[in-house]
């Protein structure tokens, strides 16, 4: 309901500006600022109550609660009056406890009981509380100690939040017509999703019906007599036909679609002895053998007519019958071709292209399982998708508000908003549920190099610049809250990481260095100098500077674990450093990559760390044993960078990795990486030399430079951002085994 009110306010503002009603617009803005209901936003109402409590404004707290009672609570049925009274009692107790915990000044506590004595002295739940100001250590008293615990305060705030949320959800009956559009949008979205699911079910049923029909036709089709007797040919005749077919291998008699079929499903021949002289058509599918054998018999009967022409011309059957049979065979091969995932088809295309370049005498179809990469989404022996396919791509949308290459693209902690930064310094804050919509646009005069969402509250965004400043931006209010000057000698803010507690953030500052052009790829003999700093988000002051051994070096990437007790960093000198955030010191460090470390992340169980470096390696490290590898895989260059976008007339754009290069799913079993045409999802394997590809997201025409993966229940949202400014949002459905 709160989001619907905000959108309605924006639409009303646009209408008033369009009509020129400036005075009305001013009055509207003033009343919105003084709105006590906060646009029906529960979080803002609770923030207002907490502000009164923290400032010890008892009169303001009472007045605001009375307003909520008159405006909202009085509309409830009498059965809920006791719940409202319990919440008010807990709110006052929270105020009293706060006066003792924060300032330990009995004046505010006594002031509360003096002003509320007439109202509270007749209530049984407050009878024992009047002795509270006279107890030396009330937090140790058995009667009051539960109220001083963090568990009680959190439980109260959550209960109040849930009560207000349910209350606003039940108020939809009283909403004006103007606010009902949000429900209509949700209804339309649900109907659209249901329609897509039904279309997919219909398509699947049609495919099954068509396959079953084709199978029935194949069983009951009456073959000519000489084709039915093909199995009775003698070995001498087969050898003769094979020797004649080798001569005509340069002719286009081979079916075009058969080049895309997997080699594992082709018939290698009768015996290894006869394979050397077998024809390419011997590798076709079993259902193609009647037609192939027919061609062999005709040519065996008339060897003098062997010419470099298509095989159909040498048969004596009517042309219409042959054409009908050939169309059926093509249709069957087409179905088997498109029942495979795109990744395996592209691999086989490359394999067939290399086979075509070899001499005709070497074109022998021998099944070789080592020639194919493992793909869990491949086609099994019976055709169709494998049962091991872990994800289904439900949809893919495009966000195209950027006009230059993307540097960073991150989802916030709640999974509701996305922040994306391009090389021109333009930041877009947008949402994708239920519809894709831009919430805020940030233009910066100074170059921006990094961004990170704050954890508490999640509406705040940290922006690191190239002139030594970090800005704290409020995406709801659409304004800068603070601008922190980090260090003039280290002006490039390369990485930002906010602690899960929300009380602090880590900032990596580096000195000026070479640009990210192709000519600057050779590394300097001396690493770029840098600093790693810890800042307090509440006081907006620097807490400390971490010690970087053996020398101060630029930190490219940072990541916290789930509770903020550990921090892992990857530096320009190829070293990974693990910091203990309780002691604020380095716990261990090791040489991880030849060249820079581009991206680091904790694993799902947080017993290991994954990293990608300039050497193109994707390595898993054991954090309990310093420098011990658990696995190591070599990734292609389009997954690790530098990323290159080529154009006409020799134009070439090169971008050094800045954002996140890989992201994990909710269970930590799969990883999303960059590629030249879209994101690639691999299954994490222990100790295997190669990653196991399970899904290619695709959809991009330019190299993908950064990725992110937001998971919720069974559906996950993958973000892939490319050098042409396009961001693809792919919605996946996880298949539980």
The pLDDT-based confidence of 327 (bands split at 50, 70, 90) is low
The pLDDT-based confidence of 401 (bands split at 50, 70, 90) is very high
What is the pairing mode between strands 504-510 and 530-536? Answer: antiparallel
In this structure, are 38 and 165 located in the same domain? yes
CA distance 156 to 169: 20
Mean of pLDDT values over 296-301: 40
CA distance 639 to 675: 5
Domain that holds residue 690: 390-399+635-736
Looking at residue 557, its pLDDT comes to: 95
Q: Is residue 196 one of the residues assigned to a domain?
A: no
Mean of pLDDT values over 252-265: 40
Q: Is residue 490 one of the residues assigned to a domain?
A: yes
Looking at residue 100, its pLDDT comes to: 81
Mean residue pLDDT of the chain comes to 75
Contact yes or no for 405/725 (Cβ under 8 A)? yes
- Lowest pLDDT segment from 200-204, 227-231, 310-314, 576-580: 310-314
In this structure, are 146 and 66 located in the same domain? yes
In this structure, are 610 and 725 located in the same domain? no
Contact yes or no for 64/52 (Cβ under 8 A)? yes
Q: Which helix (H) or strand (E) holds 550?
A: none
Mean of pLDDT values over 622-629: 89
In this structure, are 590 and 607 located in the same domain? yes
In this structure, are 467 and 602 located in the same domain? no
In the chain, the percentage of residues whose pLDDT exceeds 90 is 24
Q: Is residue 211 one of the residues assigned to a domain?
A: no
**CATH number for the domain harbouring residue 590:** 2.40.10
**CATH number for the domain harbouring residue 531:** 2.130.10.10
**pLDDT(316) > 70:** no
**pLDDT(686) > 80:** no
Looking at residue 78, its pLDDT comes to: 79
Q: Is residue 29 one of the residues assigned to a domain?
A: yes
CA distance 696 to 679: 6
CA 646 to chain centroid, in Å, comes to: 27
Q: Is residue 607 one of the residues assigned to a domain?
A: yes
pLDDT tens digit string along 530-575? 999 999 888 888 999 998 888 889 999 999 998 889 999 999 999 9
In this structure, are 719 and 642 located in the same domain? yes
Supply the DSSP string of 293-341, one letter for each residue: HHHHHHHHH-GGG--SS-GGGG--S-HHHHHHHHHHHHHHHHHHHHTS-
In this structure, are 595 and 654 located in the same domain? no
Q: Is residue 691 one of the residues assigned to a domain?
A: yes
Mean of pLDDT values over 641-667: 85
- Lowest pLDDT segment from 157-171, 433-447, 619-633: 157-171
**Of 146, 177, 208, which residue is a domain's last?**
177
**pLDDT(609) > 70:** yes
Total domains, the chain: 4
pTM here? 0.50
User: Largest Cα–Cα distance of the chain, in whole Å?
Assistant: 120
Considering only residues 155 and 26, tell me which one the structure prediction assigns the higher pLDDT.
155
In this structure, are 663 and 625 located in the same domain? no
In this structure, are 67 and 145 located in the same domain? yes
In this structure, are 538 and 622 located in the same domain? no
CA distance 431 to 415: 9
For residue 61, the cross-strand partners are: none
Q: Is residue 339 one of the residues assigned to a domain?
A: no
Looking at residue 359, its pLDDT comes to: 39
In this structure, are 579 and 649 located in the same domain? no
**Of 113, 147, 177, which residue is a domain's last?**
177
Mean of pLDDT values over 58-78: 82
In this structure, are 55 and 85 located in the same domain? yes
The pLDDT-based confidence of 674 (bands split at 50, 70, 90) is very high
């Amino acid at each position: 309901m709160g989001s619907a009110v905000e959108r309605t306010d924006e639409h009303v503002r646009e209408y008033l500006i369009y009509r020129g009603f400036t005075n009305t617009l001013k009055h509207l803005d003033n009343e919105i600022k003084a709105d006590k209901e906060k646009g029906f936003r529960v979080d803002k109402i609770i923030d207002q109550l907490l502000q009164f409590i923290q400032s010890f404004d008892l009169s303001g707290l009472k007045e605001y609660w009375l307003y909520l009672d008159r405006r909202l609570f009085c509309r409830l049925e009498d059965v809920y009056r006791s719940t409202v009274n319990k919440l008010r009692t807990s709110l006052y107790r929270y105020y009293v406890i706060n006066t003792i915990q924060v300032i330990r000044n009995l004046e505010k506590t006594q002031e509360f009981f003096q002003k509320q004595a007439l109202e509270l002295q007749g209530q049984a739940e407050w009878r024992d509380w009047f002795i509270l100001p006279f107890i030396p250590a009330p937090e140790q008293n058995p009667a009051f100690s539960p109220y001083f615990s963090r568990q009680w305060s959190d439980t109260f705030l959550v209960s109040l939040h849930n009560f207000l949320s349910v209350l606003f959800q039940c108020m939809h009956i009283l909403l004006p017509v103007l606010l009902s559009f949000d429900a209509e949008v949700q209804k339309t979205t649900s109907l659209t999703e249901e329609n897509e699911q039904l279309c997919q079910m219909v398509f699947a049923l049609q495919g099954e019906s068509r396959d079953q029909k084709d199978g029935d036709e194949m069983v009951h089709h009456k073959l000519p007599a000489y084709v039915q007797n093909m199995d009775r040919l003698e070995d001498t005749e087969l050898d003769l036909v094979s020797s004649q077919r080798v001569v005509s291998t340069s002719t286009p008699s081979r079916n075009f679609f058969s080049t895309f079929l997997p080699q594992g499903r082709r018939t290698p021949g009768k015996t290894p002895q006869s394979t050397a002289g077998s024809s390419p058509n011997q590798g076709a599918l079993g259902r193609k053998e009647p037609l192939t054998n027919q061609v062999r018999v005709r040519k065996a009967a008339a060897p003098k007519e062997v010419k470099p022409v298509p095989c159909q011309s040498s048969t004596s059957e009517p042309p219409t019958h042959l054409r009908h049979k050939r169309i059926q065979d093509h249709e069957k091969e087409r179905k088997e071709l498109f029942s495979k995932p795109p990744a395996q088809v592209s691999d086989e295309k490359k394999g067939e292209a290399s086979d075509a370049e070899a001499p005709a005498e070497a074109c022998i179809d021998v099944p070789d399982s080592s020639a194919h990469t493992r793909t869990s989404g491949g086609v099994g022996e019976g055709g169709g998708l494998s049962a091991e396919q872990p994800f289904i791509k439900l949809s893919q949308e495009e966000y195209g508000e950027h006009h230059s290459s993307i540097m960073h693209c991150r989802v916030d902690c709640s999974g509701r908003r996305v922040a994306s930064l391009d090389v021109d310094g333009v930041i877009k804050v947008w949402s994708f549920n239920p519809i894709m919509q831009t919430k805020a646009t940030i233009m910066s005069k100074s170059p921006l190099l990094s961004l990170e969402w704050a954890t508490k509250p999640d509406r705040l965004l940290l922006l690191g610049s190239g002139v030594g400043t970090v800005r704290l931006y409020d995406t709801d209010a659409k304004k800068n809250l603070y601008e922190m000057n980090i260090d003039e000698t280290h002006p490039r803010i390369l990485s930002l990481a906010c602690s899960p507690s929300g009380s602090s953030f880590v900032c990596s500052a580096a000195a000026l260095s070479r640009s990210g052009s192709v000519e600057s790829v050779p590394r300097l003999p001396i690493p770029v100098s840098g600093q790693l700093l810890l800042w307090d988000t509440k006081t907006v002051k620097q807490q400390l500077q971490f010690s970087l051994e053996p020398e101060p070096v630029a930190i490219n990437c940072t990541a916290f674990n789930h509770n903020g007790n550990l921090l892992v960093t990857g530096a320009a000198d190829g070293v990974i450093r693990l910091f203990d955030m309780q002691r604020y010191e380095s716990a261990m460090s090791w040489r991880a990559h030849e060249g820079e470390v581009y991206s680091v992340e904790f694993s799902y169980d947080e017993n290991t760390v994954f990293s990608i470096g300039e050497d193109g390696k994707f390595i898993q490290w054991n954090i309990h044993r310093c420098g011990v590898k658990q696995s190591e895989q070599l990734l292609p260059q389009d997954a690790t960078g530098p990323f290159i976008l080529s154009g006409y007339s020799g134009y070439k754009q090169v971008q050094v990795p800045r954002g996140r290069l890989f992201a994990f799913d909710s269970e930590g079993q799969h990883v999303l990486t960059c590629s030249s045409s879209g994101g690639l999802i691999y299954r994490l394997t222990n100790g295997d030399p190669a990653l196991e590809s399970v899904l290619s997201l695709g959809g991009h025409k330019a190299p993908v430079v950064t990725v992110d993966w937001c998971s919720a229940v069974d559906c996950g949202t993958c973000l892939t951002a490319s050098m042409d400014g396009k961001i693809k949002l792919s919605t996946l459905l996880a298949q539980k085994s």
